[in-house]
A and B are shown apart, each in its own frame.
With several copies, the nearest count.
Chain A
């Protein structure tokens, strides 16, 4: 196959069901497709139009192509088809290209319109080449469609077998560590002296019944008690005082923050 065949559509036979090129469906004349869905963007439309010139893409008449594209866009607009912005951008660019190409050579802008036209041509060639390549790829004998692998292979199974390693020293050392770790440890919970809330409640209310003056909370504590029991008694008596105050059996007063807490019974 020569180069031309690759670049030029017809030499490569499209398999009809793989790729239904829009151009292949169009008739010779002006029966232009006015379905925008048919093309994937302006470059695609341009390639389609170019292929209708039935010449090598390298010999394509860019001016003719521009005219065809602009005609297409005009028709679409006449039919009030909504054109995507990129089609209009391409139309504007092509209109500019056309006018630049028609200018006398010395007045042509930079980059030259020839260069722009060539660039467009190169892009069309590349897109066409890939489109043909795709069609040929899809037409190959494909696995699972044209050729098949074994339907029910037995499968190869690799069972992994572990060879465990351990040496004498590791074994003996591990036992030593188990023994060292698990030497019996006895935990003794010390018996702490506490005054329960119930006994504090009984004690405080009994003492309140006897004395009607303000008394410091600390005066309610058992005088000869162990200091540790005293701490417990203070906490319990405080909670008992709050409880009695809540029940309306006692009043609590404190003159300043962290000052002594005073307690007085209320006559029922």
Chain B
């Protein structure tokens, strides 16, 4: 392989910024690098890395068709936090709802990040502004929310009365105590249902 071509190749590879032909030439003691550049450009044409000229300056860069390799996405499954689940539930039951309204219902401040997480998950989106002073942003659930939770529509969400009947409106401690008192319920019920299959 031609020594000058090798030298130009190494110089451009190690350079921290694109270099003009003149700068390369100066760096290599005044050699004429035009042919070497053309040869290198040709040698790299089909490779994963290419030699390109941009505004009279040369540099190596990843082949355009491989640009996706430079930025990759890695997917990670994460469980929604308790706070985020609560906020999601409030949005689902009360939509459209502003952040202040969510906070009023939850009784605690809601970090901005919590809503961001729900929007990142694709379950909640901004649907406009409430026409009241301050024009707060209002949130609602998305079709993705319905499909993720297997709901035909929001009407499928159990009502307050059903929640109460299921014991889901009892304070946590009471519900737990109740569950501890009647340990047999969970075991007898399925046995009965078996015959209905």
Contacts and interface: CB of A to CB of B under 8 A. Distances in A.
A258 B27 CA distance: 84
Contact of A127 (B11, B27, B75, B107): B107
Contacts of B79: 164-166
Nearest to B180: A115
A152 B92 CA distance: 31
A178 B74 contact: no
A156 B85 contact: no
Interface stretch (B30-38, B39-47, B55-63): B55-63
A136 B152 CA distance: 16
Contact of B75 (A136, A161, A168): A161
Contacts of A150: 13-14, 60
Interface string B157-187: 1111011011011111001100110000010
Contacts of A41: 106-108
Nearest to B77: A145
B85 A182 contact: no
B107 A141 contact: no
B16 interface: yes
A129 B77 contact: no
A137 B179 CA distance: 29
A1 interface: yes
Contacts of B158: 133, 136-137, 140, 172
Given A1-B159, A154-B61, A172-B168, A162 B90 contact: no
Contact of B64 (A2, A141, A175, A179): A141
B88 A171 contact: yes
Interface in B103-141: 105-108, 117, 120-121, 123
Given A115-B180, A147-B61, A164-B121, A180 B170 contact: yes
Given A130-B93, A178-B90, A43 B150 contact: no
A176 B163 contact: yes
B89 interface: yes
A175 B89 CA distance: 5
A165 B62 contact: no
A58 B74 contact: no
Given A163-B75, A179-B163, A173 B168 contact: yes
A58 B101 CA distance: 22
Interface in B141-163: 147-151, 157-160, 162-163
A168 B158 CA distance: 11
Contacts of A123: 105, 107, 172
Given A140-B149, A148-B14, A149-B59, A166 B85 contact: yes
A130 B67 CA distance: 26
Contacts of B77: 142, 144-145, 162-163, 165
B74 A161 contact: yes
A174 B169 CA distance: 10
A91 B166 CA distance: 29
Nearest to A145: B77
Given A6-B159, A142-B148, A165-B80, A178 B89 contact: yes
B100 interface: no
A262 to B, nearest CB: 55
Given A123-B172, A181-B171, A164 B93 contact: no
A255 B19 CA distance: 92
A143 B106 contact: no
A51 B93 CA distance: 22
- The 8 A-B pairs of least Cβ separation, nearest first, read A43-B107, A176-B168, A175-B89, A134-B89, A41-B108, A164-B121, A146-B67, A148-B14
13 contacts: A6-B159, A18-B85, A41-B107, A44-B108, A135-B85, A137-B92, A154-B62, A155-B15, A161-B73, A164-B120, A164-B123, A180-B168, A181-B171
Given A156-B11, A171-B89, 7 more contacts: A127-B106, A142-B77, A147-B62, A148-B10, A153-B16, A159-B73, A173-B168
